[in-house]
Amino acid sequence: MKSRSLHTTDVLVIGGGLAGERCAMEAAAEGLEVTILSLVPPRRSHSCAAQGGMQAALGNCVKGEGDNPDWHFLDTVRGSDWGADQEVARMFVDEAPRAVRELAHFGVPWTRVRPGNNDYFVKGEPVVIREAEENAGLLMHRDFGGTAKWRTCYASAGTGHAILYAIDSEVIRLGIDVWDRCEALALIHENGRCWGAIARSLRTGELTAVLANATVIATGGYGRIYGKYTTNATINYGSGAAIAFETGVVPLGNMEAVQFHPTGLWPSGILVTEGCRGDGGHLLNRELERFMVQREPEKQELASRDVVSRHMMDQIQNGNGAESGYGPHLWLDLRHLGAEHLHQKLREVVDICRDFAGIDPAQSMIPVRPTQHYSMGGIRVNKDGQAYGMAGLFAAGEAACWDMHGFNRLGGNSLAETIVAGRLVGRSVAAFARREKLDTGTALARRFLDACEADIAAWLARTGDGPRIYAIQSRMAEIMINKVGIFRNGPDLEQAVSELQDCLHDCGHAVLHSKGPGMNPELSDALRLQGMIRLAITIASGALARTESRGAHFRRDFPLRDDRHWLKRTLARWPADTTSPRLSYEPVGLIDLPPGHRGYGKAEWIELGKSLEEYNQSVGTLQDAEGRLASEEPQGSRMSWGAWKSVATTTGTSK
């Protein structure tokens, strides 16, 4: 490899989606030089695919009356099945209303309250709701799963698209340097300090050592380890988590917490937004029965995603799925909403159904099936977004385990997190970069450049009849969907770990067809493959070790949530020269809202067996022992202790 260079910047952001760009904006607004690396032009990032909306407790419409951050906190912690860091959840819900209003200032065309009579469907029944004249033009909300109030702000069904274009316009206005078609291969680090990353141009193959005071990973999720069984874009390899994992120092948190979205368009797997069910869509089995009415009488189709996905798979596995040439599926029925509603509020759904299934949802039912969608796990960070064990490394968005989601994310909380975390983590990044000096030599950069060059050369030099990388990828995906999916059990998970180890072994002997060192998609995929398999092994290993069911992690052989033994977060590290991850555990964080029933799903669990005071007393010490770095403010300083009690005791809700 001949082409290599050196670049310095104050802040390096790896990932050009919403979390990365919003974080970059905060640093640039402080006068810092910022460089963004992005696999694609930012407006083509996967953030653009978010359809349904962004949660923020504004309470602007009748069905959202009385909403406030305390309600949002309650819903988020319950949705997480008590796996969330409750201080981070509190920070998030308090900041979300400011973030969504700021987006309006940036030009996001939010759907607004229309005064007078409006037609809706609530729990399958048509209703007429009169919106007040004084609320005309305020941000409107739609219903989403697992919430007590209508809280999700939206821009028709193209919310992610609208927000991404607005944020990217601000990035351009601020003059932030964006390197698109560029990928980070490794972090530059030494003695617990991150100094940037090695970047590879996908156009030319050139390697650049980017040295930075502060480095942010915001590369999104890892859905492509599930191959075609995901709603994620083809760029969602989990590469950010993989390069952090490669350090052997930075842990990944709760990797076994994998969300499956109930309504992936079948068989393509493209997301059909939760907004469809929020607006009154019905889930039907092969007999055209609304099975969710019997399974979840209170929430029906709007229970949390983990609960709805399990009920759907139960229907399919019990022979109640509709048959197709691609296997059984269920139906999402929007016909009763009418063409006008669909074209005004769910326009992207109409386009997706037309382009990828050849149907008009105003006339035909939509074939759907649960599909891998989101990764609650990621790079473990403190409340400032700084990685455990690695000063100068930050993470935000889906790539991070900031951990407001715990073991299940509520719909609308992810899009909100990208902006809220971008704002808050971005401020911490800016403060760190202003405070610290770029105090490292070029020898360190050359060492990591040499290692990346050697890895590339090894792939290009390998010859013979070894396995092909795409066959290994496909085998990994089949293992994950069949044995590390919605329903899990010990024997399947043991087999998954063993078979994934075989994939890792084969990766070390795989041979490329294409030998070009420059623009070479096969080489690019090969360089990602080992990291993807390691993530897959870590997910399966964490799921095998966690002998309980919590949120999206459901063990048929351990069906109860076990707070006595498992109210803790999994941390995984992959030390150098080892073939498997090392797992350890820490408390989930300070607990304000005590564990209980979520309001949907199973109403049985194993009690904590100790007081919250006793649990909370050791949280800081145990997390520090696992590598948590000091935050700008003391742990617990952002908690609003007991504030949730004022809404938890309210009788009835606006639903």
| Assigned token pair, 449 | 């450049």
Taking residue 636's Cβ as centre, other Cβ atoms within 10 Å add up to 17
| Assigned token pair, 635 | 């742990």
Those residues with Cβ within 8 angstroms of residue 181's Cβ, 6 or more apart along the chain or in another chain:
38, 39, 40, 41, 201, 202, 203
- Any idea what DSSP says for residue 560? S
Those residues with Cβ within 8 angstroms of residue 64's Cβ, 6 or more apart along the chain or in another chain:
58, 141, 149, 150, 151, 654
Based on the number of CB atoms within 10 Å of its own CB, is 93 exposed (0-12), middle (13-18) or buried (19 or more)? buried
- Catalytic site includes residue 22: no
Q: CA–CA distance from 607 to each of 122, 405, 595, 615 (Å)? A: 34, 21, 8, 13
Catalytic residue among 78, 200, 277, 405: 277
Give the β-pairing of 54-55 and 152-153: antiparallel
Helix (H) or strand (E) holding 623: helix 619-625
Q: How many Å apart are CA 27 and CA 10, to the nearest integer?
A: 9
- Catalytic site includes residue 528: no
| Assigned token pair, 215 | 């480095």
Query: Contact at 8 Å (CB) between 370 and 261?
Result: yes
**DSSP three-state, residue 456:** helix
Q: What angle do CA 33, 165, 353 make, to 5 degrees?
A: 145
Q: What angle do CA 508, 510, 512 make, to 5 degrees?
A: 135
Taking residue 310's Cβ as centre, other Cβ atoms within 10 Å add up to 22
Q: What is the DSSP string of 311-373?
A: HHHHHHHTT-SBP-TT--BEEEE-GGG-HHHHHHHSHHHHHHHHHHH---TTTSPEEEEEEEE
| Assigned token pair, 507 | 């990766």
Q: How many Å apart are CA 277 and CA 338, to the nearest integer?
A: 14
> Dmax of the chain from CA atoms?
74
Torsion on CA atoms 8, 192, 20, 94, rounded to nearest 10: -140
**DSSP three-state, residue 377:** coil
Query: Contact at 8 Å (CB) between 292 and 281?
Result: no
Taking residue 173's Cβ as centre, other Cβ atoms within 10 Å add up to 11
Catalytic residue among 22, 46, 224, 261: 261
Q: How many Å apart are CA 525 and CA 374, to the nearest integer?
A: 21
- Burial code (b: 16+ CB inside 10 Å, e: under 16) for 620-632 equals beebeebbbbebe
- At what angle are helices 239-246 and 521-545 packed, to 10 degrees? 70
- Tell me the residue length of the chain: 655
- Residues serving a catalytic function are 261, 277
